[in-house]
Structure 1
Amino acid sequence: MGTQHPLPILVTGGGRRIGLAIAWHFINQKQPVIVSYRTHYPAIDGLTKAGALCIQADFSTNEGILTFADTVKERASGLRAIVHNASAWMAEKPGTPLSDVLACMMQIHVNTPYLLNHALEGMLRGHGHAAADIIHFTDYVVEKGSDKHIAYAASKAALDNMTRSFARKLAPEVKV
């Protein structure tokens, strides 16, 4: 009887802060991990040395998102979970076009998980009832709003709603 190897958990934005802590948590649990990162930090070398598959990704364009998804599909046969942690924090401030702020926030917080969930859906399905997960990180500003980070708050609210929609679409195989 062969040994089943656990499927990896994909953590977007895993090079720093919460994403890095999440990646290390799973590595310490002997769980295979795939990490996306935008900028190379020394922590990436530590994750790689510990066995994580670290893939540089540019989520600022649809092409970058889909190229990343293709790389994941080439390197893994399935996924146990996707943890959408990649984020940006951009305030509305003088000198920055408001349309650029909104576009940036929607791209990273809504478009990236939307496209990745669709592109990687097949890697999450087929492992049994409730056997896979998608986790979207939102923010408390979803409920209260923000006077200085309006686009950020709006994008996180959109992600909150999108979470509910993907939960309906992917149940019962994938918990969202």
Structure 2
Amino acid sequence: MDGLPDWMCPPREEGWFAEDLDQLIDAPRHTELIDGALVFRMFPQRLWHNRVRTDLARAVDDQAPDGVDVVQGMTIRLDARNRPEADIIVTSAPFDPDQTWFEPGDVPLVAEVVSRESAFRDRTVKLRKYAAARIQHYWLVDDGAVGPVVHVYELDEPSKAYVATGIFRDSLNVTVPFEIDIDLAELIPRQ
């Protein structure tokens, strides 16, 4: 650990806990906690990722019912040792200007826009962890050959695992957690 900044040293032998993230003021933006370990975004974000994330969040927000908010780049406190940052969070939590994370019970939908750097975490680790925390809906957005491809999952309560309910390439039309109809071609980055 010699040569590392002090803030990178875990505060205890067991590693990091969810509440520790708020104390890491020198940590890079987009630091998340997975199984008690800090995870940093190591590569610059592609413009495609940024544009699709922003436009998808805006489209979902435009169709969200009253009392539902759509936010980007915040964390969800899944348990004491897991606080991942999601690309898009749909939440029914009351507005708190000082809030830095959400409870899973206030999050009916999480969407991750897959990047090269986060692909494994998004497709496996986060998929399992969000399901175990009982977040009802999970979307994975991939960079398809001609535009975004949205993989939609819904929580199967008995197994506490996600089941795929659709793969959407041209338009995304779902009725849960609320009615959403999005022309995916509009999410393609503008030239």
Q: TM-score, normalised by structure 2?
A: 0.27
Q: Which structure carries more helix by proportion? A: 1
